[in-house]
Structure 1
């Protein structure tokens, strides 16, 4: 018997995925739940386990191609598992895998989960293929590098990020130019870039954006950060200005709940959230992503700082899961880390507001009747004018600024 494995629903209502890497070849023997391929959706990198045990007889998709959910991608013969070649509809043909849920009657897309590799653990592969974790494979693919040519220095013989970096310093790859114009590089629009572009266009042309700016003297915040870093309480926590800005936003939301709401077009309702899933815009190897900290409003400053550190490290390693990207309620984008003073950010779709945190600079400023060098930053707030009136947005931004100008109040209210 030959069983065809069809691309399952990977959660969050996604209808397609890009096949990144096959981890098996025709003729290979596979075991039940053995990882056979890596795919990338618009939201996350996912490993696919086999629902059958047997011999691979056919691979129906090439690496780098986009596949729709329900499409047959591999045939496995003489194996045990769930027979999907019975002519039933797509939802019934998709087998239940470890960590997956089938979307059908009584099933919830948001309840689906994906299978991801353990942090920094190389994928177990055939000896003919170089060992490397999915994030490293992604970087190699983006740089056009054949992993078999990269000297591996990992503890288990796997290729690491440092190996990729070292290889790039020794080998200069020519740019991929178009056939007609040799001075152009063309990159296919797919994966996270494709999803982000569609989401930003939809947001920009659906929600009427308003952006307000406010320059703030954050000298007391900078001074408080230095004192907190020196305490035993924060000795093992990387405490950044972003942590206090995030805490100020969370406290300010208590008096300004309209900034933590959603426009329900279908039901013609404004949905005000009683919880805060705080999104942090992050630049990752896969492009812009906005993972969020669930129930951030319940966290003290130390736990919030720790959650921010974990979130950013996970995003930079390319290991952000779909559940981390879902259900955000409000977002912060920190352009200050790039030395940028301010910006007019576009709303994350479905959210009422996004706060832009600019660079902190020492500048002349009036303080206690005199001109003195102070630490200044510019905050900008974009909000959906359907949900938030100008007065509400202005008060929210002013409340955040007030808390950062006098952070002892922030610590007391936190």
Structure 2
């Protein structure tokens, strides 16, 4: 079991500055993306979460990654919540390099790309007028040793053990290997386009593959390090051949680790992405092993759980002319979301209340449901995974605002998961 990333929740799309408007009027306004020309019906955006509802075989990679009825049901449910933009969980581009078991996969080496199944996912997500964006990913060094003992990454820096999960030492990609990765991203995007998706998002945050420490033409300077990302964008455009297909990038504001990606570099990469015609940049922060936000994040995050990256989004937007900015993580109240939209962007969790956006737009709710968990981010991520599975299976969603349900869930986790992971969750 691998932890959910702390910032994979729910977001708001940037809008022009306003100083007077009700929460609901602001939220209901459509947003048109500058390069594709596509329009979302409102400014709510569901960020990617690792659903883990696809087929998985530990021994036969050809039996992995197929979208299931449970996944379709999950997106049908979220669609009923009246969300403007739905971003899927990370779709892997290689069958034997996964972020976790149960990831969906689009791999040209599989016997089937599951086109009909992806058509069903797109139909479900778009059934109430939402735009559907498929997040494409390669985990790089961040793949459990139980799934892939020989990971591939831009460089040979090993991923530290996190939450009891062990990782192998990665083999640096050759230049031919990088070209293969570029083509795989483009191929996956073309499949989603054929299935009816409105666009894709490239996951270039949280320490996954699309970040590196090389010294050749794909490393060294910031422009060189961004080259693989820019080549993927160009390859997708060539493969899809549709100017209305949205391309988005999830980008770290900063890594918050020594010698990691910093805010100034993030701004420079965002400018390159705008030149490349990226419709929106979703900003996040931190890397896999750095689960909690550090003091280095100030003043670009906030002290409360609402709007981790509001400050950075405001800063980034001031450096861009066309690309929209989306920030993710921590929104709980309609007022907090409205304030963020007025400043620039944001969002909020949907595993406990999949219809929350609809209820906010109707004025029936002003804040998200709370929970009674102790201060353990990883525990909340595991609980969200449980709720996602419940939605996918058509079951009642566990109410973690109920102390009894929380106690029962914690007892179950302590009993079922390995000791190393239990220590990470409950310490």
Both structures adopt the same fold (TM-score exceeding 0.5): no
Q: Which has the higher strand share?
A: 1
**Normalised by the size of structure 1, how large is the TM-score?**
0.25
**Normalised by the size of structure 2, how large is the TM-score?**
0.25
* Larger-gyration structure (1/2): 1
